[in-house]
């Protein structure tokens, strides 16, 4: 009797995601980006920064996506720039300088997050150090699990917090405390960060993402164009004189005059029903 051919081996090929260093998921109005390099505490390499930019760019015009949530894992949001990736070759030095604004993703990513037209919320558990903390500060606000730790330890490596840390941190907590934290590399707890208004909320361990999602749910009732313009107005205004700030605020308010959503918002109010915004 002829032997039955061996059953074809089932191939359970792992479905590969689009990215190597991040995971992405769309959930109830948010693009959730998970930094996913756990063996290196989510240290930022250039490819990961490029992936973050790419993922955010892919939904910027997607109207159902209202905001971006960044997260890591329970041990680390992000332990900063990948220290193993710092080039020491003398011949690279000025190429790195020339490329830093226009080509290096690990610099572009930070300003990309700052200038993004939708809110970027960081849900931080575990370490947020160096570039990890700087990334969270370039976002719009931070929610921290109670075991989160924040710090700018670059000085230990004779580096400086060069991804916005020496600019953003003093603007949040004042120059004197920022200097102390940078010059001692002291890590602060979520509770202390809350006291300094670095974070908006502290949650039980592991619940920062849930709190961020709750806030996204609340934001979904607000006109998305209003959120886009108020983000611009607040961020630009903080970099201007008060008089210039009022002026650009008035211009942005005027820009919304012709939106369908403004009409819908006012009509819905008059008709005592919830507004249905389209983002146009």
For residue 156, which of 174, 130, 126, 118 has the smallest C-alpha distance? 130
Using rule CB under 6 A, residue 129 touches ligand COA: yes
Write out the binding residues for ligand COA, residues 139-198 only, by CB under 6 A: 153-154, 157, 159
Choices 109-117, 123-131, 225-233, 270-278 (CB under 6 A): range interacting with ligand COA:
123-131
154 is catalytic: yes
Using rule CB under 6 A, residue 32 touches ligand COA: no
Q: 201-203 and 188-189: which strand pairing?
A: unpaired
Sign, CA torsion 241/246/249/251? negative
C-beta of 14: minimal distance to ligand COA in Å?
Answer: 23
* Catalytic residue selected from 32, 51, 125, 154: 154
Cβ atoms of residues 132 and 140 within 8 Å: no
With a CB cutoff of 8 Å and minimum separation 6, the contacts of 30 are 65, 66, 67, 68, 69, 212, 213, 216
* Catalytic residue selected from 46, 51, 125, 134: 134
217 is catalytic: no
Q: Please identify which residue in the block is written with the tokens 């370490």.
A: 127
Interface residue with ligand COA, options 50, 119, 130, 145 (CB under 6 A)? 130
**CB-wise, 51 or 154, nearer to ligand COA?**
154
- Geometric angle at alpha carbon 143, from 17 and 56, rounded to 5°: 35
Residues that bind ligand COA (CB under 6 A): 40-41, 43, 79-84, 127, 129-130, 153-154, 157, 159
């Amino acid at each position: 009797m002829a032997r039955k051919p061996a059953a074809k081996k089932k191939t359970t090929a792992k479905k590969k995601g689009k990215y190597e260093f991040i995971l992405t998921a769309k959930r109830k109005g948010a693009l959730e980006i998970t930094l996913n390099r756990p063996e290196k505490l989510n240290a930022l390499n250039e490819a990961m920064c490029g992936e973050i930019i790419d993922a955010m760019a892919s939904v910027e015009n997607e109207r159902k996506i209202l905001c971006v949530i960044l997260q890591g894992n329970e041990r680390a949001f992000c332990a900063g720039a990948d220290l193993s990736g710092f080039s020491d070759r003398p011949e690279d030095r000025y190429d790195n300088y020339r490329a830093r604004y226009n080509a290096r993703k690990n610099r572009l990513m930070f300003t990309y997050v700052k200038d993004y037209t939708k809110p970027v919320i960081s849900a931080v558990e575990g370490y947020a150090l160096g570039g990890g903390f700087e990334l969270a500060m370039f976002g719009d606000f931070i929610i921290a699990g109670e075991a989160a730790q924040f710090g700018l330890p670059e000085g230990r490596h004779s580096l400086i917090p060069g991804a916005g840390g020496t600019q953003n941190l003093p603007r949040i907590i004042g120059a004197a405390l920022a200097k102390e934290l940078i010059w001692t590399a002291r890590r602060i707890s979520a509770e202390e960060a809350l006291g300094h208004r670095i974070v908006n909320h502290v949650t039980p361990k592991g619940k920062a993402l849930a709190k961020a999602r709750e806030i996204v749910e609340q934001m979904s009732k607000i006109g998305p164009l209003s959120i886009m313009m108020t983000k611009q107005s607040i961020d630009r205004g903080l970099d201007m004189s008060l008089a210039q700030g009022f002026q650009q605020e008035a211009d942005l308010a005027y820009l919304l005059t012709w939106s369908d959503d403004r009409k819908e918002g006012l009509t819905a109010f008059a008709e005592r029903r919830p507004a249905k915004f389209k983002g146009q």
